């Protein structure tokens, strides 16, 4: 096998497309070198060596030593130097470089090859003893830190001590002689700590550094990072060894970093910073303030320190030409590192630059206009999830954060407000013009008005599909859910958390994108939707196959979703329509009624309200498909909780409060999410389905008249496990359709379908499809029932599962394509086997998650449905998965 690839002097053995073997950095160094850019010569030890190293008890392949020695001499020839030579020593940098850049690994050792003898050669050669000894002491510090594992503070202390005793402030004030003294101290420090001297043999230094890079692949930090970002452990890292060039050789030397376009706005102007007479780590360390590269940026920033453009115009012009060459070559915005040694420019790194969502959009759209990218390629350049940044306010990245605790990032956006503990308090505050954050252990349907009134919602219990999370996402409101360390004390109006106390009325900020809870009001950035957004979404819509619908029940949500491009409603949760104002009382009457007649009385009160709701939705959707789900209430959410609420219902029903209390107690369930909900309720009380079907058909007839567009309602039966359940409910629906058509003298087309939320429904899909014209995968419940993990309690232990590596992601956020996905595949195949034209969609929260959407494309679903604010994300993700 070939273990080592050289580059430099206008040629290279590797290339950009060999990233898997050479790592990102190595592949791009090879590519730049082959393009003829000035890259300091060097070589890359491949990722396969890393794999070999771990498969063979941390040893190296036999031929590696030789290959490295040869590569070193090639680099020597190219530079006119010899590694370890006492007259013309070659100095190198050693850097790690995996396929993707990865924090937590050994980063860089510079100036390797320096020792007590070679340092003198460098001093002679450059005529700058101060520079030579400064480089040597940097090397000892860096090597001791990253290779020998010594605490760099101890070295800093020696340095600070020297400066203090000699009344110096800057490192640059230290003379060559003084550095020599400090170097001796550094060396004895190493010897004391390790009981052996600092390695003087350059070969030993080099192999020490190579070993440190490979070992750093398995540090706990690197392992954790890989787990969080789904990076396989067997990718391994490469090692890049490269001839040193010096940005710290005096006033004609410099080092810097740059982006070919502005990474926060996307503006097509070079953007970067540099330092004169400095080495790479100085720019990152932040001790000196870097200067702007371009004159334009300097003027805009009103800075008085000169730009690179003004200071070193020739090197700048050359750099600028490489920037545009590399951008054209890679067809993407690049993030670059460079060094200028005595006026000569060297390119040290290029890679695709990280960018904000706004910049990603602008760059993608601009590059199509510039002819650099096709529209299809441009679609792939924007990460769908990042669009969230554009739709919600976000915390200013420059703002200071005092983080109290972190919960689940349940609904994106950030909000500040005073703590309130009840929905009524939130509503009162809103009426008085005050902003609040509603803090609850968990929310229930009764909190809808408070959630509307508050700026954001914070709960201490519940997961990503908890009531708070689902409803907040639908409203586009920030929500942090399941912040388990919060001890909420409603009675005393305080929250205890990690030894601190927050009181009702205290201002806090929640960040629904990260799950952070912060004290005080934190500066925010407001969202803006640029023209680029519309352009890119237009391209996405042209290439995607799946439709994108929305989960919505209020006219408000439906309108927002249409503005975001929704092509219909995929899920209208009718129980969510029952929480507003007086309706909840009628719903409670219905639930608590002892007799069918009592239930019918209550239902009669609800009918006109439902009819009005549906008419509005049909009108807003103007002929687009609307899926209405029949009542699916986890009953416990509806039962009156307080005596007050009980009395309210009793009064409305003209019933005795004590009797009602008994009835409510009798209805209480041990496991309500697996209890009397979904179609089970409709089987017990067919009059509910009848009322809802009537409301739907009457609304359809009315809306068809006002809009002039045909309305074809899709009526969906929840939580079906048996064909018989669906058949029974279907009978009521069909009978009601006949009745309404006869009464109104109109024909109404409609479809009846079912949710697939239970493993049994997936398995028996062939049978069930005989009675269902469509399936919608309710993956919230399907995940809950497949895993047997309660969707509302999962948060308390899933974190541990993720930390321990049992689960990579929360399956309530990102579809478990392996297990739940297999059930979806089975249901799809079997459903189609008995009804080939069956319409298939998804309406669980996964319908708005990009990786889950890719799965939906792979099984060939017809549409995904998600909350309004995720519609743009779903459009883009659907397009990417179709390409």
Residues at the contact surface with Mg ion, assessed by CB under 5 A? 757, 778, 781
Judged by CB under 6 A, does residue 571 bind ligand PEP?
yes
Measure the N-to-C terminal CA separation of the chain; round to a whole number of Å: 36
User: Closer CB to ligand PEP, residue 573 or residue 839?
Assistant: 573
* Closest CB to Mg ion among residues 259, 777: 777
Look at residues 594, 596, 692, 579 and name the one whose alpha carbon lies nearest to residue 645.
579
Q: Can residue 753 be called a binding residue for ligand PEP (CB under 6 A)?
A: no
**Are 110 and 244 a contacting pair, CB within 8 Å?**
yes
Residue 110 binds ligand PEP, judged by CB under 6 A: no
Active site residue 622: no
Work out which of 335, 341, 781, 792 binds ligand PEP, going by CB under 6 A. Answer: 781
CA distance 820 to 777: 10
Min dist CB 764 to ligand PEP, Å, is 18
> How many residues at the interface with ligand PEP, by CB under 6 A?
10
Catalytic: which of 467, 479, 576, 856?
467
Judged by CB under 6 A, the stretch of 185-193, 201-209, 480-488, 778-786 that binds ligand PEP is: 778-786
Comparison of 378 and 843: residue with beta carbon closer to ligand PEP: 843
Residue 573 binds what, of Mg ion, ligand PEP, none (CB under 5 to 8 Å, by partner type)? ligand PEP
Nearest one of 52, 45, 54 to 23, comparing CA atoms: 45
Q: Which of 780, 828, 867, 880 binds ligand PEP (CB under 6 A)?
A: 780
Structural tokens at position 543? 């290439």
Q: What is the smallest separation between the CB atom of 780 and Mg ion, expressed in angstroms?
A: 5
Interaction of residue 844 with ligand PEP, rule CB under 6 A: yes
CB atoms under 10 Å from CB of 301, counted, come to: 12
Among 351, 452, 573, 611, binds ligand PEP (CB under 6 A): 573
DSSP 605-645: HHHHHHHHHHHHHHHHHTTS-EEEE-----GGGTS--SHHH
Restricting to residues 211-230, name those near ligand PEP by CB under 6 A: none
Least distance from C-beta 778 to Mg ion, angstroms?
Answer: 4
**207 contact partners, CB below 8 Å, separation of at least 6:** none
Q: Is 524 in the site for ligand PEP (CB under 6 A)?
A: no
Q: 536: closest CA among 376, 695, 658? A: 376
Nearer to ligand PEP (CB atom), residue 589 or residue 781: 781
Burial class for 795, CB neighbours closer than 10 Å (0-12, 13-18, 19+): buried
| 757 makes contact with ligand PEP (CB under 6 A) | yes
The partner residues of 717 in beta bridges, in order of sequence, read 754
Question: Among residues 14 and 625, whose Cβ is nearest to ligand PEP?
Answer: 625
Give min distance, CB of 677 to Mg ion, in A: 9
**Which region among 157-165, 209-217, 388-396, 773-781 touches ligand PEP (by CB under 6 A)?**
773-781
Q: Rounded to a whole number, what is the largest CA-CA distance in the chain? A: 105
Q: Which is nearer to ligand PEP, 109 or 729 (CB)?
A: 729
Considering the candidates 323, 843, 856, 866, report the single residue annotated as catalytic.
843
Query: Is residue 467 annotated as a catalytic residue, yes or no?
Result: yes
Q: Which of 141, 224, 142, 217 is nearest to 185 (CA)?
A: 141
Q: Is 759 in the site for ligand PEP (CB under 6 A)?
A: no
Q: Is the dihedral of CA 804, 851, 867, 839 positive or negative?
A: negative
Given Mg ion, ligand PEP, none, residue 843, with its beta carbon under 5 to 8 Å by kind, binds ligand PEP
Residue 445 near ligand PEP by CB under 6 A = no
Identify the CA nearest to 801 among candidates 53, 227, 398, 61.
Answer: 227
462 vs 778, beta carbon nearer ligand PEP? 778
Strand-pair partners of 754 = 717, 775
Tell me the two tokens of residue 531: 């023209």
Between CA 73 and CA 70 the distance in angstroms is 5
- Of 627, 779, 817, 881, which one interacts with ligand PEP (CB under 6 A)? 779
Given a contact cutoff of 8 angstroms between Cβ atoms, the answer to whether 130 and 179 are in contact is yes
Q: 561 touches which of Mg ion, ligand PEP, none (CB within 5 to 8 A by kind)? A: none
Backbone angles phi, psi at 407, to 5 degrees: -115, -155
Beta carbon of residue 660, minimum distance to ligand PEP (angstroms, whole number) = 27
* Sheet bearing 414-420, strands edge to edge: 403-406, 516-519, 507-511, 414-420, 436-440, 456-459, 479-481, 408-411
Dihedral sign for Cα atoms in the order 723, 728, 732, 734: positive
Cβ-count burial of 819 within 10 angstroms (0-12 exposed, 13-18 middle, 19+ buried)? middle
571 binds, among ligand PEP, Mg ion, none (CB under 5 to 8 A by kind): ligand PEP
Active site residues per annotation: 467, 843
Q: By the criterion CB under 6 A, which residues form the site for ligand PEP?
A: 571, 573, 632, 757, 778-781, 843-844
């Amino acid at each position: 096998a070939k273990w080592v690839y050289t580059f430099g002097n206008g040629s290279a053995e590797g290339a950009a497309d060999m990233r898997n073997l050479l790592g990102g950095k190595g592949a791009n160094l090879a590519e730049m070198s082959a393009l003829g850019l000035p890259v300091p010569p060097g070589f890359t030890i491949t990722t396969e060596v890393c794999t070999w190293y771990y498969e063979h008890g941390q040893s190296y392949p036999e031929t590696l030593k030789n290959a490295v020695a040869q590569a070193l001499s090639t680099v020597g020839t190219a530079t006119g130097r010899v590694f370890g030579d006492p007259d013309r020593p070659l100095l190198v940098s050693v850097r790690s470089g995996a396929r993707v850049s990865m924090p937590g690994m050994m980063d860089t050792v510079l100036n390797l090859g320096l020792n007590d003898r070679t340092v003198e050669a460098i001093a002679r050669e450059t005529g700058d003893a101060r520079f030579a000894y400064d480089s040597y002491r940097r090397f000892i510090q860096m090597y001791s830190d990253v290779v020998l594992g010594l605490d760099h503070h101890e070295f800093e202390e020696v340095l600070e001590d020297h400066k203090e005793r000699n009344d110096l402030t800057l490192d640059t004030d230290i003379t060559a002689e003084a550095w020599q003294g400090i170097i001796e101290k550094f060396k004895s420090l190493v010897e004391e700590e390790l009981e052996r001297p600092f390695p003087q043999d350059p070969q030993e230094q080099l192999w020490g550094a190579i070993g440190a890079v490979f070992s750093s692949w398995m540090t706990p930090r690197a392992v954790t990072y890989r787990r969080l970002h789904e990076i396989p452990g067997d990718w391994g890292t490469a090692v890049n060894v490269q001839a040193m060039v010096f940005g710290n050789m005096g006033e004609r030397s410099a080092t810097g970093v740059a982006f070919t376009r502005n990474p926060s706005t996307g503006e097509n102007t070079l953007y970067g910073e540099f330092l004169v007479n400095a080495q790479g780590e100085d720019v990152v360390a932040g001790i000196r303030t870097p200067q702007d590269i371009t004159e334009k940026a300097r003027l805009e920033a009103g800075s008085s320190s000169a730009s690179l453009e003004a200071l070193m115009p020739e090197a700048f012009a050359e750099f600028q030409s490489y920037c545009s060459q590399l951008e054209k070559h890679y067809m993407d915005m690049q993030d670059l590192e460079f060094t200028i040694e005595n006026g000569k420019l060297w390119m040290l790194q290029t890679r695709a630059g990280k960018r904000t969502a706004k910049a990603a959009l602008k760059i993608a759209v601009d590059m199509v206009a510039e002819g650099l990218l096709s529209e299809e390629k441009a679609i792939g350049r924007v990460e769908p999830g990042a669009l969230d940044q554009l739709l919600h306010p976000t915390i200013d990245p420059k703002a200071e954060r005092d983080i109290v605790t972190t919960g689940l990032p349940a609904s994106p956006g950030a909000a500040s407000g005073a703590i309130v503990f009840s929905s009524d308090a939130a509503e009162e505050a809103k009426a008085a013009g005050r902003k609040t954050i509603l803090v609850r252990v968990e929310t229930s349907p009764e909190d809808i008005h408070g959630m509307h009134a508050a700026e954001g919602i914070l709960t201490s219990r519940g997961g990503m599909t908890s009531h708070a999370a689902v409803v907040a996402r639908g409203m586009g409101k920030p929500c942090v859910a399941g912040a388990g360390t919060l001890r909420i004390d409603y009675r005393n109006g305080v929250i205890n958390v990690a030894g601190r106390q927050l009181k009702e009325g205290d201002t806090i900020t929640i960040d629904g994108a990260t799950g952070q809870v912060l004290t005080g009001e934190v500066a925010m950035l407001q969202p803006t939707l640029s023209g680029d957004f519309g352009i890119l979404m237009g391209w996405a819509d042209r290439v995607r196959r799946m439709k994108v619908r929305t989960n919505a029940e209020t006219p408000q949500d439906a309108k927002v979703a249409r503005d975001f491009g929704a092509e219909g409603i995929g899920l209208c949760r009718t129980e969510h329509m029952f929480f507003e104002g007086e309706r909840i009382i009628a719903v409670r009457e219905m639930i608590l009624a002892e007799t069918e007649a009592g239930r019918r009385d209550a239902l009669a009160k609800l009918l006109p309200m439902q009819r009005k709701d549906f008419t509005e939705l049909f009108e807003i959707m103007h002929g687009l498909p609307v899926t209405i789900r029949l009542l699916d209430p986890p009953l416990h959410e509806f039962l009156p909780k307080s005596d007050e609420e009980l009395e309210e219902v009793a009064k409305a029903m003209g019933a005795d409060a004590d009797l009602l209390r008994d009835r409510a107690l009798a209805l209480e369930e041990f496991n309500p999410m697996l209890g009397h909900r979904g179609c089970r309720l409709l089987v017990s009380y067919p009059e509910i389905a009848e009322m809802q079907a009537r409301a739907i058909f009457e609304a359809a007839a009315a809306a068809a008249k006002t809009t002039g567009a045909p309305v074809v309602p899709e009526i969906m039966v929840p939580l079906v496990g048996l064909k018989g359940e669906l058949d029974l409910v279907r009978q009521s629906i069909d009978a009601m359709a006949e009745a309404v058509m006869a009464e109104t003298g109109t024909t109404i087309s409609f479809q009846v379908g079912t949710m697939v939320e239970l493993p049994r429904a997936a398995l028996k899909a062939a049978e069930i499809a005989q009675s269902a014209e469509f399936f919608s995968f309710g993956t919230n419940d399907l995940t809950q029932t497949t895993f047997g993990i309660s969707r509302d309690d999962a948060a308390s232990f899933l974190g541990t599962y993720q930390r321990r590596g049992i689960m990579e992601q929360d399956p309530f956020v990102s579809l478990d394509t392996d297990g739940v996905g297999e059930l979806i595949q089975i249901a799809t195949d079997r459903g189609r086997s008995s009804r080939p034209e069956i319409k298939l969609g998804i309406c669980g929260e996964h319908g708005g998650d990009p990786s889950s959407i890719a799965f939906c494309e792979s099984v060939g679903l017809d549409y995904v449905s998600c909350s309004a604010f995720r519609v743009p994300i779903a459009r883009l993700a659907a397009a990417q998965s179709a390409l």
